[in-house]
Structures are given as structure tokens and as C-alpha cells.
Amino acid sequence: MLIKTLLEDILQLFYPNLCIACQRENVPVTELFCIHCEVELPPSDMYMHKENQCTDRLSGSVPFHTGASMFRFYPHGRIQKIIHSVKYQDRTDIAERLGLRFGRMLKNAPHFRDIDLIIPVPLHPGKLRKRGYNQSEHFALGLGESMKIPVNVKSLVRFKATSTQTKKTREERILNMEHAFRIKKPIKQKNILIVDDVITTGSTIEACASTLLESIPDASISFATIALAQ
Ligand SMILES: [Zn+2]
């Protein structure tokens, strides 16, 4: 125990583990946030409720079992900075660590108990080449590891390079996402968790779910994201 602590102390001296939210404070290697950010960023409890703020986002056109975001997201807040570093600054390690932590919460949550497969929202191959990684895939890998559930990144593919969704209305977003995804390899499992970084209107997750349901009509689809946009 003493040796482990000593080793951790030495490691931290050379590789300081900065708080992923404020990047100022050093934190133990097992933690994500410093004590100040931990107090200000409590993970949301929406995963404990089958219907919640997150599932309310969806249009209702596709049936979902349940869904939840780890955090609520406020413009210019700490979570927005975290999402930015996960998406644009190669911080796949942050996405994975968030997934590990959220997975520990979901594992014992009543409505997520039956999940037997995790599928991250795929990026279009062109975008994947440009960015070099899919942030949602890394979040999914963390979730899969702590929930002990396989992550499938090969079956669902993004077929259409959709233009940016941010300035579109809900109807335009739905139209934009139409036929955006396809199933390339058959899926055996029936209790599927779709994973994305942020949920805004839910149109991306709904498009993935409707593609999965076309191929597996009796599937039960849930979703999980790092953040729920306000
Ligand atoms: Zn901090």
C-alpha cells in the first residue's frame, strides 16, 4: 500500500494528472476532477429515471427504452471545455475516462441492466480521416470496459457526410440525417446502447436507432452521451 502510494506520488511528480475541467489543479491519478470542479460538476442523476430530460429531447418518432447524459452542458462552462478538448484536441483519454466512470454508474442502474451491446455513433469516413479518431468511440470503449459489454464499431456505418447541424431547425436536422447510416455487418444482440458525445435535438441518435430497428425490428434501443446540450 505504502509502495503503491509512493509510486503514485513519484509518477505524479513527473506526469502531473491535471483536472480535466480546469486544468489547474493536480488530482490523484484515479480522479478526473479537482475537488472544486467535483463540487461544481456533479454527474446528473437522469440515468436513474427511465424517462428524463434527455429522453424528452427525442421527437418520439423512434421508440427508445431509455437514455441519459452524464452531465448537463451550459455554454462557456466547464463541460463545454471538456467536450471541446475531447472533440478537437485529441484528448481521447478524457473521453475514455469519462466512459469508465459513467459505465460504473450505468452498470447498476435499473434501466440499463439488460444492455448487451454498445454502438458508438460513427463518423463519416472522410471526417474520421481528418480528425484521426472518433470521440464517441473512445467514450464507448470506456463504458464497455466498466460495464463489461462489447463495443461494436464495425456494423453501423455513416453513409452520408452530413453538413453541420448547429444552425438547422429540428425539421432540417431530421431531413439532413435521413438515410445517413447503414448496417454493414449483421448484429445479433437485441439490447443496444447507442453512444454519442453530446445530445442536442436527438436527431442523430434517432437516425442511428431507426437504422438499427430496420435491421433488428425487435431490438430495444437506449442511448448514453457525455453531455446534454441546453
Ligand atoms: Zn478543476
Residues 72 and 40: beta-carbon distance below 8 Å: no
Taking phi over 0 as left and psi of -120 to 50 as alpha, with beta for the rest, 90 belongs to left
SS3 for 119? strand
CATH of residue 84's domain is 3.40.50.2020
Q: How far is the CA of 40 from the centre of ligand 1 (A)?
A: 9
Question: Same domain for 106 and 22?
Answer: no
Predicted confidence at residue 75, as pLDDT, reads 79
Q: How far is the CA of 98 from the centre of ligand 1 (A)?
A: 15
Residue 96: burial class (beta carbons within 10 Å; 0-12, 13-18, 19+): buried
| CB burial string 153-165: b at 16+ within 10 A, e below | eebbbbeeebeee
* Alpha carbons 84 and 86: distance in angstroms, whole number: 5
Query: How are strands ordered across the β-sheet holding 191-199?
Result: 67-73, 220-229, 191-199, 117-120
* Per-residue pLDDT tens digits for 180-207: 999 999 999 999 999 999 999 899 999 9
Question: Same domain for 6 and 52?
Answer: no
Q: Which pTM was predicted? A: 0.89
Question: Same domain for 108 and 189?
Answer: yes
Question: Same domain for 190 and 174?
Answer: yes
* Per-residue pLDDT tens digits for 9-32: 666 666 678 888 888 888 887 788
Domains of the chain: total:
2
Grid coordinates in use for 194? 447507442
Predicted confidence at residue 175, as pLDDT, reads 73
Q: How far is the CA of 36 from the centre of ligand 1 (A)?
A: 6
230 residues of the chain, pLDDT tens digit each: 556 567 666 666 666 788 888 888 888 877 888 988 888 888 899 999 999 999 999 988 899 999 999 998 877 888 998 999 999 999 999 999 999 999 999 999 999 999 999 999 999 999 999 999 999 999 999 999 999 999 999 999 998 777 666 677 777 777 777 789 999 999 999 999 999 999 998 999 999 999 999 999 999 999 999 999 98
- Mean pLDDT, the chain, rounded, equals 89
Q: Distances in Å between the alpha carbon of 150 and those of 79, 104, 123, 188, 226?
A: 27, 15, 19, 12, 19
Residues with CB under 5 A from ligand 1 (ion): 19, 21-22, 25, 34, 37
Q: How far is the CA of 15 from the centre of ligand 1 (A)?
A: 17
Grid coordinates in use for 213? 430497428
Q: How far is the CA of 72 from the centre of ligand 1 (A)?
A: 17
The parent domain of residue 22 ranges over 1-42
Q: How far is the CA of 19 from the centre of ligand 1 (A)?
A: 5
Taking phi over 0 as left and psi of -120 to 50 as alpha, with beta for the rest, 199 belongs to beta
Question: Same domain for 117 and 6?
Answer: no
Question: Same domain for 73 and 136?
Answer: yes
Question: Same domain for 105 and 19?
Answer: no
Residues 24 and 18: beta-carbon distance below 8 Å: yes
Q: How far is the CA of 21 from the centre of ligand 1 (A)?
A: 5
Question: Same domain for 8 and 82?
Answer: no
Predicted confidence at residue 42, as pLDDT, reads 82
Q: How far is the CA of 62 from the centre of ligand 1 (A)?
A: 38
Pairing of strands 156-158, 117-120: unpaired
